[in-house]
Amino acid sequence: MYRAGRHVDPEFEDDELLYNRCQALHVAEQRLLPTGIKFPDWSVNRSKYSEPDDVLIPTYLDWGIVEFQVDSVPKKLESLGNVVFEFKVEHDPVDDNYSHSEVRTYKEGIHHKNVEVNKTVKKQFRQMLSDRTRLIRSPKS
């Protein structure tokens, strides 16, 4: 799980699974609700380098786990004002979690942590991704 000097692996297969931890209030009908999806960047772990339970270590042992495939992430959405938002899964390893990745938001081709995302685009993105998630471990109430 530790990075141990390994380099970023930018290659993702479309069917690679991504894992995220979730609280009970963000789960319904075996999926993650749109309110459980963070913006503009959302931390996930990639299955190529981790197991689902790794998202719970060290302090989230009572939380649940959802999974979804890389190709479940909408590629592009456009606001009514013709502003283009793109979404990309990017490997972003940290010292104690080599599998750490982020679903990142790009506005007009530019990514930064405080990007402002149109409310309608946010809602669309969250709903589309929510519909493609699957609960694989229920959170403890």
For the chain, the average pLDDT equals 96
- Is residue 68 situated within a structural domain? yes
Which residue in 113, 121, 39, 120 sits closest to 85, CA to CA? 121
Question: What is each CA distance from 8 to 48, 50, 92, 131, 134, in whole angstroms?
Answer: 13, 15, 7, 29, 27
SS3 state of residue 129? helix
Q: What is the mean pLDDT of residues 123-131?
A: 98
**Largest Cα–Cα separation, the chain:** 45
Domains contained in the chain, number:
1
- Is residue 4 situated within a structural domain? no
- Is residue 7 situated within a structural domain? no
pLDDT tens digits, one per residue of 64-115 = 999 999 999 999 999 999 999 999 999 999 999 999 999 999 999 999 989 9
- Is residue 93 situated within a structural domain? yes
- Is residue 110 situated within a structural domain? yes
- Is residue 40 situated within a structural domain? yes
- Is residue 32 situated within a structural domain? yes
Residue 1 has pLDDT above 90, yes or no: no
- Is residue 56 situated within a structural domain? yes
Give pLDDT, residue 41: 94
Note the pTM of the prediction, 2 decimals: 0.95
Question: What is each CA distance from 16 to 47, 67, 70, in whole angstroms?
Answer: 6, 10, 6
For 118, the domain range is 17-137
